[in-house]
Amino acid sequence: MTTSSALDSFLDKWRTRWPEWSVAEPFIPEHQRNLVVAWFSLLQEFDDILNTAGDPLPADAKLAWWGEELRSWAGQRSRHPLGRLLEPVRAPWAELAQTLPDLVEARAVPVDAAHAQKALMAYAAAVAAVEAVMFDTPARDDVATPVLLQTLSQRLQEAGVAAVPRSLLAQDDGNAPQRYAAELLQPWPARVAGPRPRRMYASLARTRLQAFAAGRAPQVTPLRTLLRTWWAGRG
């Protein structure tokens, strides 16, 4: 497989997981579109490692490899196809790499919602710092929170009960995942802080979590997605 086709396969894998993005993407400047998808594809790699089931050793080894890969980007020595688009961005890659081991620790069932957030806060802040450079937006104290909520949301939807805090599981009414989803939605506004791609991506993720909290499959329509992401992406 050529470098170009390998890169396309990673971008297409993320687009397949997020088909709503095809409606939202026209609100992103054309020259940024592949960069945005490459970045979200990388974050999906980390989400998959965080939410792995079964033997964690292969996922942990992959995460260690990614740590080395990100550190190499400062010297323009990327090996992964995604580096073709991401490496030229002079972002704090090494700082992001430093937080990756937190994903391993975050697999443990949290005591409560606050514990779940604390476990991934440094990682979310590092992601937000990369996005501030990548999308040329001012650094703000509140931009890590949308990243954190979205990471926890995807973990809940992919890992299920394993992601639910013990404080909610103790109530034992069989509805703990939905109640946890409702907790995550409380501090999550319809339009979050951060660069436009993050605001739009967060809007799509929030819509999915709302459906999960209601116990139903997401009902995605192009018109609603168009209006929602246009509004979320407004400056």
With a cut of 60, say whether residue 3 has pLDDT above it: no
Q: What is the rounded average pLDDT of the residues 77-97?
A: 95
pLDDT at residue 140 tops 90: no
pTM of the model: 0.94
Give yes or no for residue 178 having a pLDDT over 50: yes
According to the model, what pLDDT value does residue 161 have?
Answer: 92
Q: What percent of the chain has pLDDT over 90?
A: 79
pLDDT digits (tens, 9 = 90+) for 31-49: 999 999 999 999 999 999 9
Q: How confident is the model at residue 115 (pLDDT cuts 50, 70, 90)?
A: very high
Residue 8: φ, ψ to 5°: -60, -35
| Domain 3-233, CATH class in plain words | mainly alpha
If we measure between CA atoms, which residue out of 124, 123, 203, 117 comes closest to residue 163?
117
Token reading at 64: 């260690």
Averaged pLDDT for residues 160-171: 91
The first and second tokens of residue 195, run together, are: 């660069």
Q: What is the 3-state secondary structure (H, E, C) of the chain?
A: CCHHHHHHHHHHHHHHHCCCHHHHHHHCCHHHHHHHHHHHHHHHHHHHHHCCCCCCHHHHHHHHHHHHHHHHHHHCCCCCCCHHHHCCCCCCHHHHHHHCHHHHHCCCCCCCHHHHHHHHHHHHHHHHHHHHHHCCCCCCCCCHHHHHHHHHHHHHHHHHHHHCCHHHHCCCCCCHHHHHHHHHHCCCCCCCCCCHHHHHHHHHHHHHHHHHHCCCCCCCCHHHHHHHHHHHHCC
Q: Which of 3-7, 62-66, 91-95, 210-214 has the lowest mean pLDDT?
A: 3-7
| pLDDT for the residue numbered 76 | 85
Averaged pLDDT of the chain:
93
67 pLDDT above the threshold of 50: yes
Q: Where residue 139 falls among pLDDT bands split at 50, 70, 90?
A: confident
Q: What pLDDT shows up at residue 1?
A: 47
Domain extents in the chain: 3-233
